[in-house]
């Protein structure tokens, strides 16, 4: 019996940064390592350069953000937030991120488990010089653990398992 999933999304943008506060770099593809993180990114376990989470955080190996949230912030608050500015790795299209906490899903060929919703950091207002902290409460993305790694490319499908 085959089950038709209720949603299928896709990868709209990919970003990494080597260190906290430094600008995010747009990528065509990123390499996920199971149990660790993204090659070259600040939150990879064992190489953390992140500021917000000085201790290794096993549930934050890769972060996702809804492109729809960028549109909502523009619509409701008149703030133009670009995909490289929300500081999450994967910008998704058509994925109900808030419903995924505690669940597993496929990002391209990789298998992820959503651990918790991300929380915004006040420092983002300093970095961007935009008052985005309040607008980002409750729509700041999703933290995930990597169960099966691999390459993720722009346009890859995202689907439930």
Partner 1 sequence: MRHIRLALRAAEPAGPGIRLLTLMDPDGWPLPRWRPGAHIDLHLPGGLTRAYSLCGDPAEAECWRIAVKREPAGRGGSAWLHDALAVGEELPASLPRCTFPLAEGASRHIFLAGGIGVTPFLAMAAALARSGAEHHLHLLHRGPPPLPTQLAALQGRVTLHDTLTGRPGLAALLGPPTPGTEAYCCGPPGLIEAFLAAWPADQARVEHFTPPPLAPLPGARPFTLVLAKSGRSLDLPAGAPLLPALHSLGAEVESSCEGGICGACRVRWLEGPPLHRDRILRPEERETHLMACVAGCAGSRLVLDL
Chain contacts with partner 1 (rule: CB under 8 A): 17-23, 25, 51, 123, 126-127, 129
- C-beta of 15 vs 145, nearer to partner 1: 15
Query: Least distance to partner 1 from the beta carbon of 79, Å?
Result: 16
- C-beta of 7 vs 51, nearer to partner 1: 51
- C-beta of 42 vs 145, nearer to partner 1: 42
Query: Least distance to partner 1 from the beta carbon of 37, Å?
Result: 17
Question: How buried is residue 122: exposed, middle or buried, by Cβ count under 10 Å (0-12/13-18/19+)?
Answer: exposed
- C-beta of 21 vs 109, nearer to partner 1: 21
Q: Rounded to an integer, what distance in angstroms lies between the CA atom of residue 96 and that of residue 109? A: 19
Query: Least distance to partner 1 from the beta carbon of 23, Å?
Result: 5
Q: Which helix (H) or strand (E) element contains residue 123?
A: helix 123-128
Query: Least distance to partner 1 from the beta carbon of 128, Å?
Result: 9
Name residue, tokens 């910008």.
91
- C-beta of 83 vs 150, nearer to partner 1: 83
Sign of CA dihedral 87, 31, 57, 106: positive
* DSSP 8-class letter at 100: G
Q: Rounded to an integer, what distance in angstroms lies between the CA atom of residue 24 and that of residue 20? A: 9
Within 10 angstroms of residue 16's Cβ, the number of other Cβ atoms is: 20
Query: Least distance to partner 1 from the beta carbon of 82, Å?
Result: 12
């Amino acid at each position: 019996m085959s089950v038709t999933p209720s949603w299928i999304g896709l990868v709209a943008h990919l970003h990494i940064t080597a260190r906290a506060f430094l600008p995010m770099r747009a990528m065509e593809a990123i390499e996920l390592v199971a149990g660790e993180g993204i090659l070259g990114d600040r939150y990879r376990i064992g190489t953390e350069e992140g500021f917000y989470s000085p201790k290794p955080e096993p549930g934050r190996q890769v972060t996702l953000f809804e492109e729809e949230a960028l549109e909502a912030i523009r619509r409701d608050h008149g703030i133009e937030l670009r995909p490289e500015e929300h500081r999450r790795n994967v910008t998704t299209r058509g994925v109900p991120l808030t419903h995924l906490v505690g669940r597993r899903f496929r990002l391209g060929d990789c298998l992820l488990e959503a651990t918790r919703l991300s929380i915004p950091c006040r420092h983002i207002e300093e970095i961007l010089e935009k008052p985005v902290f309040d607008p980002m409460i409750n729509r700041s993305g999703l933290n995930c653990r990597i169960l099966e790694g691999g390459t993720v490319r722009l346009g890859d499908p995202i689907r439930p398992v």
